[in-house]
Chain A
Amino acid sequence: MAERRNTRRAAKGAAEAGGGTGGPAPARLAVRKTYKLYLGGAFPRSESGRSYPVTSDSGRHLANASLASRKDARDAVSAARKAFGGWSTRTAYNRGQILYRVAEVLEGRRDQFTAQAVAAQGLSRAEADRVVSAAVDRWVYYAGWTDKVAQVLGGANPVSGPYYNHSAPEPTGVVAVLAPQNAPLLGLTSVVAPVIATGNTAVVVTSETAPLAAIDLAEVLATSDLPGGVVNLLTGRVPELGPHLAAHADVNALDLTGAGELAAEFERAAATTLTRVLRPGPGADGGEEAWLDPDPGTARMTPFLETKTVWHPVGI
């Protein structure tokens, strides 16, 4: 798809979106951002060279986003696999520190995200503010979970014999996340943060129609000491990328939240390598408001955890 240049834009909010208006030349020409993928800690364009126009809720052109290809998806899985060993063996405390850092950096850039939500999704300023606040708080929430989840989900097993026996949760590995299509920031945060909080790495297909918040969020992740490859964000189409991620042998789990009507097809494809599957729950198609619950609990962490049980004899 050719890059599209749209010279006729509505005046309202254009300065915030980095665009200009028709008519006389402005005193200073705004520097627009090129939206690319976030892959292995870097911001490459799609290897396919494709992009697609992103418009606001009302149809105004906002930017061009990279249109990720299946090769990008495979590269993202490689990057996520490479990052898994290091990320999963960080201490839980350290992962918590980094997730909290994400919240701090996001808080510092909240005006940008609020403006983005107003421009892209047509939210009111107050609504956008609420969504961004909830997104910041969601990172704080999962930052606090990192070093508690093993105690809550694991424990000693009183076996009938002279053995020390305990079970602990471990991250399953690389998780492919089809993020909510209609909740590009809070929804995205709500599905990605729990996946990485426990030590998994993620390959995420963002909202197709509203992908810009995801790439803005990538800039936050990239400046928060999150190692490259822990989160990889692909802007593009679920029907194009989903089948490859679902069938990919090096993907350990699949979050189908944003899969829409393709959920069953992807679940079937995932069966070939016994990939763990989280089916779309209620509210999967909802907007940001569907993700406001401040206490989502462990429900989005447990599907991406394995239980490891270790035995050892007791004796002298």
Chain B
Amino acid sequence: MIFEYAPAPESRSVVTLRETYELFVDGAFTPAEGGEYLTTLNPADETKLAQVAVAGAADVDRAVAAARRAYDTVWSRMPAAERGKYLFRIARIIQERSRELAVLESMDNGKPIKETRDVDLPLVAAHFFYHAGWADKLAHAGLGPDPRPLGVAAQVIPWNFPLLMLAWKIAPALATGNTVVLKPAETTPLTALAFAEICQEADLPPGVVNILTGAGETGRALVEHPGTDKVAFTGSTEVGRQIARAVAGTDKRLTLELGGKGANIVYDDAAIDQAVEGIVSGIFFNQGHVCCAGSRLLVQESIAEELLPRLKARISRLRLGDPLDKNTDIGAINSAAQLERIRELTDTGEAEGAERWSPACDLPQSGYWFAPTVLTGVSQAHRVAREEIFGPVLSVLTFRTPDEAVAKANNTPYGLSAGVWTEKGSRMLWTAERLRAGVIWSNTFNKFDPTSPFGGYKESGYGREGGRHGLEAYLG
């Protein structure tokens, strides 16, 4: 029996939406030269939130020019400690406006307020705090005695953690003395524009941060613009390849944080209840819209029969619904297009012979929703074991020996994350050593911290974000 919960909605009154949002260039909000706008929706009910300017090539030109000017005249000349103080100031304003930003993020993205409030926003503020302190200590970062900023960074971020990805991009770039032009995702531009206001509130010099909203064409124009020194992208592996091709033959530096198909290995000696919690947070955190999600469960054959019913029982207690309800575990899928992709891929799993299970779960009438889903009897050849679904869909495979677990875990072109569940330390370390992935969570999953480098092996991209390692991406 699931407990009945009374609705506990977080108030939307902390957010004041404007009808129209313009581009943030050179410290001011200005319309796009093409006069085009796109509409951003609340994916939980498909209502219109606002219209947002679409930046074209001319807008990219002026934003890059503004960033270059700010770099040359202000930001690269400023004492590093002062630069750091701007970042501390930004971190403080984020903390002060944290609830407003959390609600706005949940409205624009569809993720539950529990996550935006307790995960996204604390990490965003922490990311600025962490990097603020680096600004005047870069000579101690092990990257040479006098590391220099690169110049202007072009940054393109995805829709799954809009403000957190902005923080991962902007905080290290600014701390190291670069200026930025950032494009948020087409479907989640609002918190980036709120961040632009925060830059104004912090009196950040004009042009140091420029925010260009738009869709794929805007992103393409930005990463291909000859006036930048650095491209940083988080998103799909396919777009990552295109960007790597576009940057080839230039002097631009490039970091890419791309897709994943993370394996979550559960050995027969694992603490089962903890493992079940970890499997659930591994795949259902943020509706599975997580590049490092534990989307392939590899469970040792001898405990599969015990574990799967407990996993399903736990999933049956997840609450899906209004993202602003404080009891909600699973929010809305971010867009109609993403929902379609999840449906299509999950259907192929069934068609290829996997067994599909979802708990009894009423989906709201409007908005984009997908019930948590478990596919069992999945083989390595199935598309659902190979391709990133980027949704709340778990593919379950089994293994007999540790060697087989490692071989299956590594049998993917991706290499972003993996999980290991065992009570035996030596087995955990043995496994972690052999997994070809940038982040290994052992007896935990989906943990993030600004001090902890994040990034992938193989086709999950290159470069790291966070920690001392992340600074390298912005220093020459």
Contacts and interface: CB of A to CB of B under 8 A. Distances in A.
Interface string B133-172: 0000000001000000000000000000000000000000
Interface stretch (B4-12, B45-53, B311-319, B452-460): B452-460
Interface residues of B, number: 42
Chain A: number of interface residues, binned into ranges: 35 or more
Contacts of B37: none
Contact of A268 (B142, B249, B443): B249
Given A271-B244, A274-B458, A312-B443, A264 B249 contact: yes
A133 interface: no
A272 B457 contact: no
A42 interface: no
A309 B438 contact: yes
A267 to B, nearest CB: 4
A206 B93 CA distance: 57
A160 B458 CA distance: 29
A315 B429 CA distance: 17
B78 interface: no
**Of listed A89, A167, A263, A274, residue having the most chain B CB within 10 A:** A274
B240 interface: yes
A158 B451 CA distance: 6
A312 B461 contact: no
A310 interface: yes
B235 to A, nearest CB: 13
A307 B447 contact: no
A182 to B, nearest CB: 22
A270 B428 CA distance: 34
A267 B443 contact: no
Contacts of B472: 302
A252 B458 CA distance: 7
A274 B469 contact: no
Given A274-B258, A308-B440, A268 B248 contact: yes
B256 A274 contact: yes
A307 B428 contact: no
Nearest to A252: B458
Interface string A289-316: 0000000000000100011111111000
A161 B467 contact: no
Contacts of B468: 155
Most buried by A among B240, B244, B440, B443: B244
Interface string B109-149: 00000000000000000100000000000000010000000
Given A271-B241, A271-B245, A308 B438 contact: yes
A272 B458 CA distance: 11
Given A157-B453, A163-B447, A274 B241 contact: yes
Given A157-B449, A163-B447, A167-B453, A274 B440 contact: no
Nearest first, the 4 A-B pairs at minimum CB distance are A264-B249, A271-B244, A267-B248, A159-B449
Interface of A: 89, 152-153, 155, 157-161, 163, 165, 167, 172, 252, 263-265, 267-268, 270-274, 276-277, 302, 306-313
Interface of B: 126, 142, 237, 240-242, 244-245, 248-249, 256, 258, 413, 428, 432-433, 437-444, 447, 449, 451-455, 457-462, 464, 467-469, 472
23 contacts: A153-B142, A157-B453, A159-B451, A159-B452, A160-B451, A167-B467, A167-B469, A172-B457, A264-B248, A264-B249, A265-B249, A268-B248, A268-B249, A271-B242, A271-B248, A273-B413, A273-B458, A274-B237, A274-B258, A274-B460, A308-B440, A311-B442, A312-B428
